[in-house]
């Protein structure tokens, strides 16, 4: 099957970069410090900023404490790159987007995005919407809406690539079609689901549109 679009908006963790090993290490350590079940924490941690996950677990916890933990976790994740690898097909996929309208929309901050994309050997898109650029974390659509605006296209003209429940919800709330990547995405009803990016091929058409081919 194929979809047409004017631009592609790409999540990072779980979509382009497999950083699950680091994410799990950091959240398991935090969960142990808080006396929480790590599996309960990990069930909601993917795809959103850490302070949003903490707020969901501790609704009455002061925002300042959540932000402090958020910063501490970002610093730990930025220096822990053991096991960070590209999602299968990501290098060829990113190479195919050279010169085409696309942006990174991630819950990571700029430093973490640079560290993980570098560790995975992937090029950083020129346009990036990172944690510093939004006031609300996914599943809020702000990041995707900003990415579309920076590229100069309406949300309906964009396709979002996401792996998590929060990310898929954010793409949908932004009014975009969503291609879900990987096992987490399968249970959250994206418009199209792929196991990895080896199933995706992007073709630039003469009129400037992009045709995204998805193999079964």
- The order of strands in the sheet holding 128-129 is 128-129, 102-105, 7-10, 158-162, 177-181, 192-194
- Alpha carbon distance 89, 101 (integer Å): 19
> Which residue in the list 13, 109, 157, 163 is annotated as catalytic?
13
Q: Is 11 among the residues known to form the active site? A: yes
Q: Please report the beta strands in the chain, taking only residues with DSSP state E, as ranges in sequence order.
A: 2-5, 7-10, 17-18, 85-86, 102-105, 128-129, 158-162, 177-181, 192-194, 200-204, 210-214
- Alpha carbon distance 206, 209 (integer Å): 7
Closest CA to 82 of 164, 12, 163, 23: 23
Q: Is 140 among the residues known to form the active site? A: no
Exposed/middle/buried for 115, CB within 10 Å: 0-12, 13-18, 19+? buried
Query: Which residue reads 């291609």 in tokens?
Result: 179
- Alpha carbon distance 192, 196 (integer Å): 12
Tokens at residue 109, please?
């901050």
- Alpha carbon distance 136, 187 (integer Å): 24
Active-site positions?
11, 13
């Amino acid at each position: 099957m194929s979809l047409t679009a004017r631009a592609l908006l790409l999540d990072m963790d779980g979509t382009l970069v497999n950083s699950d090993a680091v994410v799990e290490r950091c959240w398991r350590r935090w969960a142990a410090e808080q006396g929480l079940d790590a599996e309960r924490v990990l069930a909601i941690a993917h795809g959103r900023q850490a302070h949003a996950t903490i707020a969901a677990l501790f609704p009455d916890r002061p925002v300042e404490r959540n932000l402090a933990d958020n910063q501490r976790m970002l610093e730990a994740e930025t220096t822990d790159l053991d096991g960070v690898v590209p999602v299968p097909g990501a290098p060829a996929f990113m190479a195919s987007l050279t010169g085409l309208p696309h942006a990174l929309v991630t819950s990571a901050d700029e430093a973490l995005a640079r560290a993980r994309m570098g560790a995975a050997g992937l090029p950083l898109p020129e346009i990036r919407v990172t944690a510093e650029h939004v006031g609300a974390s996914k599943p809020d659509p702000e990041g995707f809406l900003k990415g579309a605006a920076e590229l100069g296209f309406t949300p309906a003209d964009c396709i979002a690539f996401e792996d998590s429940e929060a990310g898929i919800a954010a793409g949908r709330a932004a009014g975009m079609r969503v291609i879900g990547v990987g096992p987490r995405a399968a249970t959250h009803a994206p418009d199209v689901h792929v196991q990895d990016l080896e199933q995706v091929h992007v073709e630039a058409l003469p009129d400037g549109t992009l045709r995204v081919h998805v193999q079964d």
